Amino acid sequence: MALQGEGKRERAGLSPGAAALAVALDLEPAAARQIGARLAREVGYLKVGLALFCSEGPAIVRELQEAGARIFLDLKLHDIPNTVSLAARAIGRLGVDLVTLHASGGEEMVRAAVEGCAEGAAAAGVTPPTVLAVTVLTSLSPMALTRIGLEGPPERAVVRLAALAAAAGAGGIVCSPREARAVRAAVGSGARLVTPGIRPAGQAFGDQARSETPEAAISAGADLLVVGRPILQAPDPVQAARELVDELNRLLAAAR
């Protein structure tokens, strides 16, 4: 089966490093609007997460799109297939570029999301978003996985869920850089690998139990790195983003 979203092109004019960077706007709405407008054309995507979307709804997506941003809608859908299908149709109409769901919802749910996004996008005359399947949250340690009953270690659980989602048509997989190589081996070159919780060398990992540096993520084969606090909490977020883009350009050039 061809993976959903396969072949989508990056926004013209972005360097490889910029295209490989998504900034997570995990901020209060006013700050998200301000910083988002400044970063909209600096990076590949702005990630609108659950808190911001619940607060502001589709309006924040449209505002950031008008500023020139491509939107990574990180809602992590997880429900019965019919409910997910209805949500996915609504998301497809928004013209966002990426949307997440939990792979643990099962193959039928993943298929419902892929089909729903395509139907909604077709109705609105826009390109459907690439559906990204979240495997195991990067905040979960091996001990936490055991407590919730997911057969570990994390890499085993991640690969199992990634293979399931790819078989159901998801266009990408969300995993930590520590599992990226194993996921790539399991799902092949067609799936986009997205690694959240990235922290530049020397910065604290915070609540991310399985985080890594940009260098480790690129080395492991990640296609898109998600960064939040290291950019958002910098004195100048735009400068911080540009410095990280420069680093990613160097890393990607060395990896060729």
* 47 is annotated as an active-site residue: no
CA distance 246 to 204: 21
Q: How far apart are the first and last CA of the chain?
A: 28
Specify the range with the lowest mean pLDDT, choosing from 40-44, 97-101, 114-118, 215-219: 215-219
pLDDT at residue 5 is higher than 80: no
Residue 8 clears pLDDT 60, i.e. is over it? no
Percent of the chain past pLDDT 70, that is, above it, reads: 91
Q: What is the pLDDT of residues 116-155, one digit of tens each?
A: 999 999 999 999 999 999 999 888 888 888 888 877 688 9
How high is the pLDDT of residue 132?
98
Interval 229-240 mean pLDDT: 96
Answer for the pair 4, 132: CB distance below 8 angstroms, yes or no.
no
| pLDDT given at position 120 | 98
pLDDT-derived band at 11 (thresholds 50, 70, 90) equals: low
Look at strands 21-24 and 98-102 and give their pairing. unpaired
d(CA 191, CA 170): 8
| Residue 14 reports pLDDT greater than 80 | yes
pLDDT confidence of residue 2: 39
Inter-CA distances, 24 with 5, 77, 165, 211, Å: 21, 17, 23, 15
Q: Residues 225, 47: contact at Cβ < 8 Å?
A: no
Which residue segments constitute the domains of the chain, with CATH numbers given?
16-255 (3.20.20.70)
* pLDDT tens, position by position, 167-209: 999 999 999 888 999 999 999 998 999 999 898 765 555 545 5
Whether 66 has a pLDDT exceeding 80, the answer reads yes
Full DSSP string of 75-88: EEE-S-HHHHHHHH
Looking at residue 4, its pLDDT comes to: 47
d(CA 144, CA 46): 29
Q: How high is the mean pLDDT of the chain?
A: 91
Q: Which of 248, 135, 249 is nearest to 200 (CA)?
A: 248
pLDDT for 62 equals: 98
Put simply, whether the predicted model's pTM sits higher than 0.95 gets the answer no
Q: Which two tokens stand for residue 39?
A: 């970063």
Alpha-carbon dihedral sign for residues 24, 27, 120, 108:
positive
Model confidence band, residue 245 (pLDDT cutoffs 50, 70, 90): very high
Tokens 């909209």 belong to: 40
Which of 76, 156, 181, 229 is an active site residue?
76
Looking at the DSSP assignment, which residues form a beta bridge with residue 98? 72, 130
